[in-house]
Amino acid sequence: MDKLAESAASDAVSPVEKPHEAPPGWEPNILAFACHYCAFAAADLAGVMRLSYPSNVKVVRLPCTGKLDHIYVLRAFEKGVDGVFVAG
Amino acid sequence: MSEKTSSSDKHGSVLVVGGGIGAMQAALDLADGGFKVHMVQKDPAVGGTMVMLDKTFPTGDCAMCMISPKMVEVGRHLNIDIHTLAEVVSVEGKPGDFKVRVRLAPRYVDPDKCTGCADCEAKCPRKVTSEFEQGLSTRKAIYALFAQAVPNTRAIDASQCLYLTKGVCKSCQKVCKAGAINYEDKGREIELTVGAIILGPGLDRYDARVRGELGLGRWPNVVTSIQFERVLSASGPYKGEVKRPSDEKHPRKVAWIQCVGSRDSHNANPWCSSVCCMYATKQAIIAKEHDKNIEPTIFYMEMRAFGKDFDKYVERAKKDYGVRYQRAMISAVREEPGAGDLVLRYASEDGKLVDETFDMVVLSVGLEPHKNAVEFAQTFGIETTPYRFPMTSPLLPVRTSREGIYITGTYQGPKDIPETVMQGSAVAGEAMALLGEARGTETASKELPPERDLAGEDARIGVFVCHCGTNIASTVKVDEVVEEAKKLPGVVYATNTIYACAQDNQDVIKQTIHDQKLNRVVIASCTPRTHEPLFQETIREAGLNKYLFDLADIREQCSWCHMGKKEEATKKAKQIVRMSVAKSRLQQPISTDTVGVTPACMVIGGGIAGMTAALSLAEQGFQVHIVERESELGGLVRNLHRTLDGSDVQEFLESRIAAVQAHPRITVHTGTEVAKTEGFVGNFKTSLSSGAALEHGAIIIATGGVEYRPSEYLYGESERVVTQRELEKRLAGGEQPKADESFVMIQCVGSREEPNQYCSRVCCQDAIKNAIAIKERNPNAQVAILYRDIRTYGLREDYYKEARDRGVLFIRYEVDRKPAVEKTNDTIRVTAWDYMLNSELTLNADWLVLSTGLRPHPTTDRVGEMYKVTRNPDGYFLEAHVKLRPVDFPSEGVFVSGLAHAPKNLDETITQALASAGRAGVILSHERLAVSGIIAKHRRDLCMSCLSCFRVCPFDSPYIGEDGKVAHNEVKCMGCGICAGICPAKAFQVNNFRDDQILAMIDAAVECEEPGVIGG
Please write the tens of the pLDDT for every residue from B428-474.
999 999 999 999 999 998 889 999 999 889 999 999 999 988 889 99
B742-746/B847-850 β-pairing? parallel
| Domain assignment of residue B602, yes or no | yes
> Best interface-test mutation with B: which of A29, A37, A48 has the largest number of B CBs within 10 A?
A48
Residue B974 CA to residue B980 CA, distance in Å, equals 12
CATH number at residue B534: 3.40.50
pTM of the model: 0.87
Mean of the per-residue pLDDT values of chain B: 94
Q: Are residues B230 and B358 in the same domain?
A: yes
Q: Are residues B945 and B912 in the same domain?
A: no
Which H helix or E strand runs over B829? strand B828-834
Residue A74 CA to residue A79 CA, distance in Å, equals 9
Contacts of A84 in chain B (CB under 8 A): none
| Domain assignment of residue B590, yes or no | no
* Closest Cα in chain B, distance from residue A16 (Å): 25
| Amino acid letter, residue B877 | F
Q: Are B704 and B899 in contact (CB under 8 A)?
A: yes
Q: Are residues B149 and B123 in the same domain?
A: yes
| Domain assignment of residue B581, yes or no | no
pLDDT value, residue B628: 98
> What confidence tens digit (pLDDT) does each residue in B386-437 have?
999 999 999 999 999 999 999 999 999 999 999 999 999 999 999 999 999 9
For residue B1014, pLDDT beyond 60: no
Q: Are B917 and B602 in contact (CB under 8 A)?
A: no
Any alpha helices (H) in B633-742, and if so which ranges? 649-662, 724-732
| Domain assignment of residue B579, yes or no | no
Residue span of the structural domain in which B507 resides: 461-567
Stretch B353-374: mean pLDDT? 97
Does B980 contact A67 at a Cβ distance shorter than 8 Å? yes
Residue B668 CA to residue B602 CA, distance in Å, equals 10
CATH number at residue B232: 3.50.50.60
Nearest to B494 by CA among B472, B539, B462, B523: B462
Does B998 contact A52 at a Cβ distance shorter than 8 Å? no
Q: Are residues B562 and B494 in the same domain?
A: yes
CATH number at residue B112: 3.30.70
Q: Are residues B840 and B860 in the same domain?
A: no
Q: Does B951 touch chain A (CB under 8 A)?
A: no
Opening angle at CA B352, ends B349 and B355, nearest 5: 100
For residue B518, pLDDT beyond 80: yes
Q: Are B225 and B360 in contact (CB under 8 A)?
A: no
Q: Are B588 and B885 in contact (CB under 8 A)?
A: no
Last residue of a domain, one of B117, B151, B185: B185
> What confidence tens digit (pLDDT) does each residue in B110-131 have?
999 998 888 999 999 999 999 9
Q: Are residues B424 and B345 in the same domain?
A: no
Q: Are residues B229 and B308 in the same domain?
A: yes
| Domain assignment of residue B1011, yes or no | no
Does B560 contact A80 at a Cβ distance shorter than 8 Å? no
| Domain assignment of residue B358, yes or no | yes
Q: Are residues B876 and B845 in the same domain?
A: no
Contacts of A40 in chain B (CB under 8 A): 527, 529
> Best interface-test mutation with A: which of B475, B554, B1006, B1010 has the largest number of A CBs within 10 A?
B1006
pLDDT value, residue B836: 83
Does A46 contact B569 at a Cβ distance shorter than 8 Å? no
Of B58-67, B641-650, B1006-1015, the poorest mean pLDDT is in B1006-1015
Q: Does A77 touch chain B (CB under 8 A)?
A: no
| Domain assignment of residue B827, yes or no | yes
> What confidence tens digit (pLDDT) does each residue in B295-315 have?
999 999 999 999 999 999 999
Q: Does A59 touch chain B (CB under 8 A)?
A: yes
Q: Are residues B256 and B325 in the same domain?
A: yes
Q: How many residues does chain B have?
A: 1016
Q: Are residues B607 and B675 in the same domain?
A: yes
The answer for B 516-545 residues in CB contact with A (under 8 A) is 527-529
> What is the Cα gyration radius of chain A?
18
pLDDT value, residue B890: 79
Q: Are residues B908 and B948 in the same domain?
A: no
First vs last C-alpha separation in chain B: 52
> Best interface-test mutation with B: which of A38, A65, A67 has the largest number of B CBs within 10 A?
A67
pLDDT value, residue A13: 57
pLDDT value, residue A14: 61
Which H helix or E strand runs over A40? helix A39-48
Residue B293 CA to residue B312 CA, distance in Å, equals 23
Q: Are B497 and B535 in contact (CB under 8 A)?
A: no
The answer for B 46-85 residues in CB contact with A (under 8 A) is 64-65, 68
Q: Are B827 and B845 in contact (CB under 8 A)?
A: yes
> If you measure CA to CA, which chain B residue comes closest to A48?
B556
> What confidence tens digit (pLDDT) does each residue in A10-69 have?
555 566 777 778 888 888 999 999 999 889 988 988 888 788 999 999 999 999 999 999
Q: Are residues B749 and B763 in the same domain?
A: yes
Q: Among B560, B579, B981, whose Cβ lies nearest the Cβ of A67?
A: B981
Last residue of a domain, one of B546, B567, B588: B567
> If you measure CA to CA, which chain A residue comes closest to B989?
A67
> What confidence tens digit (pLDDT) does each residue in B779-836 have?
999 999 999 999 999 999 999 999 999 999 999 999 999 999 999 988 999 999 998 8
| Domain assignment of residue B643, yes or no | yes
Confidence of residue A6 (pLDDT cuts 50, 70, 90): low
What domain count does chain B have? Answer: 7
> What confidence tens digit (pLDDT) does each residue in B200-209 have?
999 999 999 9
Last residue of a domain, one of B411, B445, B479: B445
Return the percentage of chain B with pLDDT > 70, whole number.
Answer: 98
What is the sign of the dihedral through the CA atoms of B903, B904, B905 and B911? negative
Q: Are B607 and B704 in contact (CB under 8 A)?
A: yes
Residue B601 CA to residue B627 CA, distance in Å, equals 11
Q: Among A31, A40, A63, whose Cβ lies nearest the Cβ of B993?
A: A63
